[in-house]
């Protein structure tokens, strides 16, 4: 069939071109281009016949390779195209189709079936039960970003095997067990909110490598990872060395009494805490930023108050060169709204809260995404200098299973993992068995001693947080420093397995 788009090209030809690329493992591009997305969107509009409908096309190509030392490598490849349209916010009349259909006849049949059975009719009169998409204050100036790296696309097909080999290389011939992971993501996103509005378009890549090292008897473990949108910035050899050194350091751990210690948290550990706490910035969540009598969105909160140490500034910037994010709202009810640079906390003072689009409209607030992509300001201390300054403390390399337990304080619980060292009199004394922790990042940053240099952390290809549906791999970039705080609550001993 021949469907002409407004570029004068054949829609079916463009989509067939994409299909051919998908069969080629070394194709230079794995997801739809802007022109291909627009051609598909025009095809959708032609069928649904609602010019003001919000149409979203999100195309994701993901590839993960894992290998256990001495065993077969395993790869998983997913090509996922999500096409959705709707006419309303709030109680929206929305239709979501997740499809890999590239056959336009089949796609037309699926869409027409959806429209025919939609109740209330998609093209019928709209009720008065919520803010309309056309009520949105149109903020269509997107921050210019550059999140797409050809090096990552090339590595997705060509270098992943070599990366896995390099990650496992230092373990060969040793008694350590290890599992290495290399994960890649390419995404394109096209969204058109209302007739006459500027379409939101974006494309990004991301990559992450990690290595877990374990002693055969399960008594010691190490982990390291790196994440970057640009594959060429990752170093499998460095990750391997760090993970192995980390495991060697953790050999033969002994017990230390639970209690409050000065803690030195690696950037990974600090970033994991912020990752779990991102939703606490939202006006609709229980939050340490609520006043004690908080009952509803719109109550005066603690904006303008000092909420953490004056040396802390927290920002989200889609154009952050070390990470960045979509320049528009996607998820959290977002429909192509701009995602501007946001300063959440400046010199310890709370400046902003996040709010989704529908709630923001209702309360006259500018919608802002939860700060899952965030940069925390740093300082000049290295981890080694922090250890030198520490009389009695614990170094934490990483956490596992962090969950916010009390939203009002931001207190979360979890386990230390893959590196927990006792520090005595300015030196690492010995490895210790893992702890369960109970601590709030918001409160602990009022007990700050030192900050190091921020860096983007790798979260690892770990299970998503069941309490946060948006926290799925690849997680948004978190750029944080190592921190040293006093009186960190290591609440109980835990058996690491």
Partner 1 sequence: MWAFPRGTGRVIANLVAPPFPPELLRTAATTAIEAAIHAGAEWADIRVGEERTLSIFGHGGELQLGCGYSLRVRVGGAEAFVTGADPTIVDITTAAQRAVATAKSLVPTAAGTTDTLAKVPVVKGEWRVPMAIDPFAISIDDHVAAQVSSDGEFDRHLFRFQQLENGMAGASCRWKQGTKVFASSDGSLVTQYLTTVEPHAEVRLGWPWRAHPGEPFSLFGMKSVVPCSGGFEMITHPDRYAYMQARAEELLSYTALPAVPLEIGRQDVVLDGDLHGQLIGTVIVPTLSLNRALGNEIDVGGTSLFSPPESMRGQAVLPALLSCRAAPDAPHYGAAAWDDEGVATTPSPLIVDGVLTNYLASRATAAFHGERNVGPLPGITQSQLGALPTELPPCVAVAPANGASSIAELCKQMGNGILALSGYVSTDPSGLGGYIYPWMMLEVRQGTVTRRLYGQRMMYSTKRIFKTLTALGDAGTQYTAVCREFSPGVPWVNLTHAVSAPAALYHNIDIVPSHMQS
Binding positions for partner 1, 14-53, rule CB under 8 A: 19, 22-25
Nearer to partner 1, 98 or 388 (CB): 98
Spatial distance between the Cα atoms of 456 and 56, rounded to a whole number of angstroms: 29
Nearest to 251, CA basis, from 366, 174, 352: 174
Q: 483-493 and 259-265: which strand pairing?
A: antiparallel
Using rule CB under 8 A, residue 13 touches partner 1: no
Rounded Cα distance between 131 and 145, Å, is 30
Which residues lie below 8 Å from residue 348, measured CB to CB, with a gap of 6+? 306, 307, 308, 309, 310, 311, 312
- 252 near partner 1, judged by CB under 8 A: no
C-beta of residue 317 within 8 angstroms of C-beta of residue 327: no
Distance between first and last Cα of the chain = 58
Task: Rank residues 6 and 469 by Cβ distance to partner 1 and give the closer one.
Answer: 469
What residues from 456 to 495 belong to the interface with partner 1 (CB under 8 A)?
460-464, 466-467, 472-473, 492, 494-495
Q: Residue 436, interface with partner 1 (CB under 8 A)?
A: yes
User: Does 246 help bind partner 1 (rule: CB under 8 A)?
Assistant: no
Minimum Å gap between C-beta 495 and partner 1 is 6
| Tokens representing residue 33 in the block | 């281009």
Pattern 340-369, binding to partner 1, x per CB under 8 A?
Answer: ------------------------------
- DSSP class of residue 79? E
* Binding span for partner 1 by CB under 8 A among 129-137, 214-222, 264-272, 372-380: 214-222
Instruction: Quote the least distance from Cβ 462 to partner 1, whole Å.
Output: 6
What is the nearest approach in angstroms of partner 1 to the Cβ of residue 119?
5
Q: Which of 58, 214, 397, 398 binds partner 1 (CB under 8 A)?
A: 214
Among 51, 158, 291, 331, the residue binding partner 1 under the rule CB under 8 A is: 158
Residues in region 128-157 near partner 1 by CB under 8 A:
157
The answer to whether the Cα torsion of 317, 321, 327, 329 is positive or negative is negative
91 in contact with partner 1 (CB under 8 A): no
CA 390 distance to own-chain centroid: 32
Residue with structure tokens 């990650």?
167
Among 139, 294, 389, 447, binds partner 1 (CB under 8 A): 294
Instruction: Name the token pair of 76.
Output: 């998983």
Q: What residues numbered 263-282 form the site for partner 1, per CB under 8 A?
A: 279, 282
Among 33, 118, 151, 198, binds partner 1 (CB under 8 A): 118
Residues numbered 393-422 forming contacts with partner 1, rule: CB under 8 A: 400-401, 403-408, 413-415
Among 5, 56, 87, 210, binds partner 1 (CB under 8 A): 210
- Which residue in 205, 203, 200 sits closest to 338, CA to CA? 200
- Rule CB under 8 A: choose which of 11, 54, 62, 268 binds partner 1: 62
Minimal CA–CA distance to 126: which of 227, 53, 76?
Answer: 53
433 touches partner 1 by CB under 8 A: no
- Using CB under 8 A as the binding rule, the residues of this chain from 174 to 193 that contact partner 1 are 177, 179-181, 183
Interaction between residue 237 and partner 1 (CB under 8 A)? no
CA distances from 335 to 202, 317, 367 (A): 13, 19, 11
Figure out which of the listed residues 10, 52, 99, 151 binds partner 1, where binding follows CB under 8 A: 99
What residues does 437 pair with on adjacent strands? 414, 490
* Beta-strand runs (E) in 397-462: 399-406, 411-416, 420-424, 427-431, 435-439, 448-451, 455-456
């Amino acid at each position: 069939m021949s469907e002409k788009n407004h570029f004068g090209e054949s829609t079916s030809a463009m989509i067939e071109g994409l299909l051919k690329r998908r069969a080629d493992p070394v194709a230079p591009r794995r997801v739809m281009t802007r022109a291909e997305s627009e051609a598909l969107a025009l095809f959708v509009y032609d069928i649904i016949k609602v010019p003001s409908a919000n149409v979203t096309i999100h195309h994701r190509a993901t590839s993960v390779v894992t290998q256990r030392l001495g065993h077969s490598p395993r790869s998983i490849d997913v090509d996922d195209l999500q096409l959705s349209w709707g006419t309303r916010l709030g109680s929206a009349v929305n239709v979501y189709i997740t499809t890999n259909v590239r056959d336009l006849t089949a796609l037309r049949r699926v869409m027409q079936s959806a429209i025919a059975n939609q109740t209330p009719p998609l093209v019928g009169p709209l009720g008065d039960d919520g803010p309309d998409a056309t009520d949105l204050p149109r903020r269509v100036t997107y921050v210019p970003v550059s999140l797409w790296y050809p090096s990552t696309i090339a590595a997705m097909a060509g270098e992943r095997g070599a990366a896995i080999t390099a990650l496992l290389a230092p373990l060969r011939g040793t008694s350590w067990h290890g599992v290495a992971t290399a994960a890649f993501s390419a995404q394109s996103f096209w969204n058109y909110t209302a007739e006459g509005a500027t379409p939101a378009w974006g494309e990004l890549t991301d990559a992450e490598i990690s290595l877990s090292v374990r002693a055969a008897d399960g008594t010691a473990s190490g982990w390291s990872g790196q994440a970057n949108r640009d594959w060429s910035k990752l170093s499998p050899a460095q990750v391997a060395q760090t993970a192995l050194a980390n495991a060697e350091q953790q050999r033969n751990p002994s017990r230390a009494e639970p209690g409050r210690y000065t803690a030195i948290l690696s950037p990974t550990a600090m970033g994991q805490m912020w990752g779990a706490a991102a939703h606490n910035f939202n006006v609709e969540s229980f939050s340490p930023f609520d006043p004690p009598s908080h009952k509803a969105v719109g109550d005066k909160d603690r904006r303008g108050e000092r909420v953490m140490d004056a040396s802390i500034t927290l920002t989200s910037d889609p154009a952050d060169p070390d990470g960045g994010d979509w320049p528009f709202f996607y998820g959290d009810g977002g429909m192509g709204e701009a995602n501007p640079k946001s300063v959440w906390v400046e010199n310890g003072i709370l400046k902003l809260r996040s709010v989704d689009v529908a709630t923001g409209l209702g309360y006259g607030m500018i919608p802002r995404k939860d700060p899952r992509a965030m940069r925390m300001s740093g300082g000049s201390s290295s981890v080694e200098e922090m250890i030198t300054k520490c009389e009695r403390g614990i170094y934490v390399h990483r956490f596992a299973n962090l969950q916010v337990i009390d939203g009002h304080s931001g207190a979360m619980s979890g386990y230390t993992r893959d590196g927990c060292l006792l520090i005595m009199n300015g030196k690492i004394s010995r490895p210790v068995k893992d702890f369960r922790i109970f601590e709030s990042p918001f409160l602990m940053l009022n007990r700050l001693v030192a900050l190091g240099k921020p860096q983007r952390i790798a979260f690892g290809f770990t299970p998503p947080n069941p309490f946060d549906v948006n926290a799925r791999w690849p997680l948004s970039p978190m750029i944080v420093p190592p921190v040293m705080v006093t009186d960190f609550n290591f609440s109980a001993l835990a058996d690491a397995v």
